[in-house]
Amino acid sequence: RASVFKDTLKGMVVGAPLGVCVNCAAPIAYGMSKQGTRKGTSLATMFASPTLNIVVLAMTFSVLPMYMAVTKLIATFMFILLVLPLLVRFGSGGDAPGAAVASAADEQCALPAVSESWPAALLGLVPDLWRNFLFIVIRTVPLMFVAGFLGAAIANLVPLESLADWPVSRSEEPCSRNAET
């Protein structure tokens, strides 16, 4: 039996270069789990991808002060490499739902030889890709239109000048500027 710590390290190495947001990392981890990937690997991939990809790291170190960015990075590593393996090991019995499929495949020494040609394989792949594409489009495009409509409505209904008088922090009093004039 493989180490849970090794599984989470593998998931972190797989997830960091993916560069996907949380909304995409969750279905990716779910798909990995359904295909037989161990829980530690799929969960570490899900947490590492939106927190350790190069875009997020660049934004973190450019927007936050150095001590906060380093603290966030250390906390992320501690969670993925220490807390997550413990949660996986002691949190629930058993492994990923597809683990039985993976262990059955591991028992076989070799995969059966398939004499499928490349054109036949592509003809089998294209309908699956098209069905998955439509699944994503049907569920996301209407939400994108709603978000765009709401953003445009707010941008047009709320005058930009009205935001200038809002206090930036709690220590600043909004009426102090008006009292001086």
Residues 176 and 163: their CA atoms lie apart, in Å, by 17
Say yes or no to pLDDT of 180 above 90. Answer: no
| Residue that has been written with the tokens 């949660």 in this structure | 87
**Tens of pLDDT along 45-97?**
999 999 998 989 999 999 999 999 999 999 999 999 999 999 988 876 555 44
Residues 7 and 112: their CA atoms lie apart, in Å, by 27
Q: What pLDDT sits at residue 96?
A: 47
26 versus 177: the higher-pLDDT residue is 26
Say yes or no to pLDDT of 178 above 70. Answer: no
DSSP-derived letter for residue 65 is -
Residue 63 C-beta-side C-alpha neighbours within 13 Å: 7
Q: What pLDDT sits at residue 173?
A: 54
Q: What pLDDT sits at residue 144?
A: 92
Q: 107, 104, 97, 84: which is closest to 10 by C-alpha?
A: 84
